[in-house]
Homo-oligomer: A and B are copies of this chain.
């Protein structure tokens, strides 16, 4: 057999990732076989094991990829927003939640697999899960710091604040992929309502007089 070039190996790897993404999204982790992933990618089993240690490793790679894709989508929304404009920020928050719930829905079976397989069934999943939570918390913490330095908010624990958000997304997302309700938009609205509500609760009491006009300005279809 001819020695494979770097380019060919990279191509094989990409085909396996695409194949895994499709099969895991369609059937979930447990019901997808390595042989199927390889066949669907047009390669043999040995090509699979040349790239990934096992099915779990590919699954983790894909979760990471989905998260990275989502993260860059979120960044794109944020770049377009003037965070100094409260109403713009609220609309952007909701847009970001929509993006998150749509991504969970797009990879419905992957989302379900994470819940159903549990964190111990897939080696490395619990560690990756908390790495993702850490990344989300770090990004949110920057926003909180800006708002705190500007005297707009006084948030106790940044980490608890962002973990509460992650929890909402998870649980609403779990029901969404299981039952089809809430829709991504409904779930996003509820999360926006909680998020903005909790931020309102973090406004120093001497800044409260600014709140009413902002509130009155929120269009009825936002939250």
User: CB of A205 within 8 A of chain B?
Assistant: yes
Within 8 Å by CB of A161, from B169, B170, B190, lies B190
A191 to B164, CA, bound (A): 7
Q: Which residues of chain B are within 8 angstroms of A205 by Cβ–Cβ distance?
A: 215-216
A143 CB to nearest chain B CB (Å) = 16
Q: Which residues of chain B are within 8 angstroms of A168 by Cβ–Cβ distance?
A: 163-164, 167-168
**Interchain CB contact under 8 A, A190 and B160:** yes
A22 CB to nearest chain B CB (Å) = 22
User: CB of A212 within 8 A of chain B?
Assistant: yes
**Interchain CB contact under 8 A, B171 and A166:** yes
Secondary structure dominating the interface of A: helix
A190 to B157, CA, bound (A): 8
Stretch at the interface among A3-11, A50-58, A103-111, A192-200: A192-200
Number of residues on chain A facing chain B (CB within 8 A): 47
Which residues of A, 38-96, contact B by the 8 Å Cβ criterion?
none
Q: Which residues of chain B are within 8 angstroms of A157 by Cβ–Cβ distance?
A: 182, 186, 190
A211 CB to nearest chain B CB (Å) = 9
Within 8 Å by CB of A172, from B167, B196, B212, B215, lies B167
Within 8 Å by CB of A121, from B118, B167, B190, lies B118
User: CB of A17 within 8 A of chain B?
Assistant: no
Q: Which residues of chain B are within 8 angstroms of A27 by Cβ–Cβ distance?
A: none
Q: Which residues of chain B are within 8 angstroms of A194 by Cβ–Cβ distance?
A: 164, 194, 197-198, 201
Seed contacts A118-B119, A160-B187, A164-B191; 17 additional CB < 8 Å A-B pairs: A117-B120, A118-B118, A118-B120, A156-B189, A156-B190, A157-B182, A163-B172, A163-B175, A164-B168, A167-B170, A167-B171, A171-B171, A193-B202, A197-B197, A197-B201, A205-B215, A208-B212
Residues of A within 8 A of B (CB): 30, 115-121, 126, 133, 156-157, 159-161, 163-164, 166-172, 175, 181-182, 186-187, 189-191, 193-194, 196-202, 205, 208, 212, 215-216, 223
Closest 7 CB pairs of A and B: A118-B118, A197-B197, A167-B171, A167-B167, A116-B120, A197-B198, A160-B190
